[in-house]
Every structure is written in C-alpha cells, then in structure tokens.
Structure 1
C-alpha cells in the first residue's frame, strides 16, 4: 500500500506547472474574466483540461470559483480539491 501511495505522489510531482504555465493555458476570455475578478482578490490556482475546454480554477481566501473556456464564471462550482 505504501508503494502505491508513493507512486501516485511521484507521478503528481512530475507534472507540477508554475503560475505562468497555468496562465498560458487559459483562453483570452478566461484571462479577461480573471482580470475583472482580480480586483476582488481572486487569483489563479490552476487550469484543468476538460472535454469542453480548459477550466481555470480560481480562489479568493477560502472561496473557490471556476472560469470556463468561454469566460463564464461559476462562483459555486461543484469542485472538490484534494
């Protein structure tokens, strides 16, 4: 069991992207939406590739939000972070 946990952890650490790399993965519409939300304290956490396009996951303190590829902001997404 320990070996499996180690392998999962090792796999996750290989593909860690920095903030600029996540920023480069966002669409122009997502960037515009994040610029608007930045004044309220939101910041980019990471970008996930989904079948319908990239989803930018952002946060403001303990609040999580998502910006979809078309720039639509979801302030109450059904996202569970590990």
Structure 2
C-alpha cells in the first residue's frame, strides 16, 4: 500500500470529527454564506481541505452544495458522497 493510500485508510478508520470541529475548519466567508443558507434549511455536513483551501459541503434534504474558501456557493457541485452504511 502506498503512503498516501495508507494515510487515507488511517483517516477513514478514525472516529468521525464532530460538527463543531468542522465548523472551526471553515473560513469567515464560508460561515457567512452558511448563515445565509441556513434559513433555507441547509446544514454543514463536513469540510474537505483542497490545495485551493477548505470546501464546506452542505445539504438541504437531498440537495448537496459546496461553499468554497472565498464564500462562493455552488448549488450544483460535481461531487459524489459515498454511502456511510
């Protein structure tokens, strides 16, 4: 197994981080955007770190959206969530 694959496997086997920890990983611009979307029922699922900065993944029922580090909201991101069951 390569080092990168091993590290990914290690991370997936760790306990899931709590909502507050994800919130702390967001930028101020992401927090403002999420505050605006919260009134429409969106909630923070998790934050992923990319070379371009953190991406907050949010959902509202079955709709998935992304908020980029600069606060830009993508209501139709090209992402697929894996089944956690």
Residue segments in structure 2 that go unaligned for 5+ positions in a row: 1-7
* Residue number in structure 1 paired with 2:36: 36
Aligned mates of 1:11, 1:65 — CA distance in 2: 23
Structure 1 segments of 4+ aligned residues over 6 angstroms from their partners: none
* Residue number in structure 2 paired with 1:71: 71
Residue segments in structure 1 that go unaligned for 5+ positions in a row: 1-7
Q: RMSD value over aligned CA atoms?
A: 1.6
* TM, length-normalised to structure 2: 0.83
Higher helix share: 1
Aligned mates of 2:16, 2:50 — CA distance in 1: 18
* Residue number in structure 2 paired with 1:3: none
* TM, length-normalised to structure 1: 0.85
